[in-house]
Copies of this chain bind each other. A is one copy, B any other.
C-alpha cells in the first residue's frame, strides 16, 4: 500500500493560468490514486474549469480548492511579493508546505517572487548559504542535474561547493547510482583546461577537488551538459540560466525551420508530415521545457517551479517532478547532507 501524497498547487501565475493547471491536476489525480491536491486560486473560476473536464467524481473528490484571490503577476518584484503578497495563491501554497499540510508545492508563477517568498516563508536549511534552482535535463545516458538556473547571480566558490552537495542529493532521485562516488560532478566553464574561466570558478575547482563527499571530475563546457559524461553540472545562476534557455531556444527554432521546409514540394510535403510527427516525438524527449519542473533546493521544504509558459501537459510533468521530490523528501535529504562536515556550512563558534 502506497503512502499518501499531498501537494499544494498554485493555480495562477503561469501564462495560461488555471486553464493549464486544472486539467493537469485532474490527470494527476487519475494517474496517482494515493494523491491529494490542495489547489490555491479563485474558487468560482476553478470550479467551473473542473466541471468542464467531465471527469469521474472519485478523482475530483481528492482535490480541495483553497480560495484566494490575490495573484502575483510577472511584473511584481521580489520585495513587493514578500512585503505585500502574503495572501497570494503562491504564498498560501508555500505556507501549506511550511506547516506540513503538504509535502511539496508546485507553481508556474513569477520566479523572482517564488524564490523570495520561499526564503521568507520556509527559510534556508541550516548551513545553506544560498538556495539554488536546479533541474534534471536530458542527456545521452539519461539525465544530468544542472544548478543554479538563475536564483543567484553572484556566486562564490563556497556557494558553488554547496550547489554541488545539494545537486548530488537531487540527482540521486533521478538515477540508480546511490553512492556519492558514482555521481560525477563537474563545473561549467569555457574549457576543460585548469587555467580557464574566472578566478572564482578556478577556486571552486580547488574546493570540489578537496571534498571527499564529491566525485569531482573537472571543468566541462556547455555541450557536455547533454552528452551524459557527467551527472551534476554546477555553475552560477547567469551561466545556468543561459545554458538552459539557449538550449530551449535552438530546439524551438529547429521546430520552426522544419515547418517552413515541409511546406515546399509535394513529395517533401508528404514525408515532411511524417517526419514532423517523429520530430515532435524526438523533441519531446530532449526539449528542456518538456523536462518541466525545477526544484528550489536549500530551503526547508520541496518547492517546484514550472515553466511559465507551461501547457497542461508540461504542468503535469512539473507535478510529477514534485511527486518525485516529495516521495524522496529532497529537502530532508539536502538537510542531512548539509549537516555533514565540510559541507561549506559556516562553522558555529560553540565547539
Contact = CB atoms under 8 A, between A and B. Distances in A.
Most B C-beta atoms less than 10 A away, residue of A150, A245, A272: A245
Interface string A227-241: 100000001011101
Contacts of A268: 278
Interface string A131-147: 00000001110000000
Contacts of A248: 222-223
B261 A153 contact: no
A21 to B, nearest CB: 22
Contacts of A190: 150, 153, 237-238, 241-242
Contact of A223 (B111, B195, B246, B286): B246
A271 B276 CA distance: 11
Nearest to A249: B223
A257 interface: yes
A272 B283 contact: no
Contacts of A243: 222, 242-243, 246
Contact of A257 (B221, B249, B282): B282
Contact of A249 (B111, B227, B281): B227
Nearest to A154: B198
Contacts of A188: 242
Contacts of A283: 254
Contacts of A252: 223, 226-227
A217 interface: no
Q: Which of under 10, 10 to 19, 20 to 34, or 35 or more describes the interface residues of A?
A: 35 or more
A332 interface: no
A80 to B, nearest CB: 11
A250 interface: yes
A120 interface: no
A223 to B, nearest CB: 3
B253 A241 contact: no
A278 B252 CA distance: 16
A286 B271 contact: no
Contact of A250 (B197, B250, B261): B250
Most B-side CB within 10 Å, residue of A150, A253, A286: A253
A286 B259 CA distance: 13
Contacts of A195: 77
A221 to B, nearest CB: 5
Contacts of A196: 112
Contacts of A241: 190, 221-222
Interface string A31-42: 000000000000
Interface in A86-123: 111-112
B247 A224 contact: no
Contacts of A272: 278
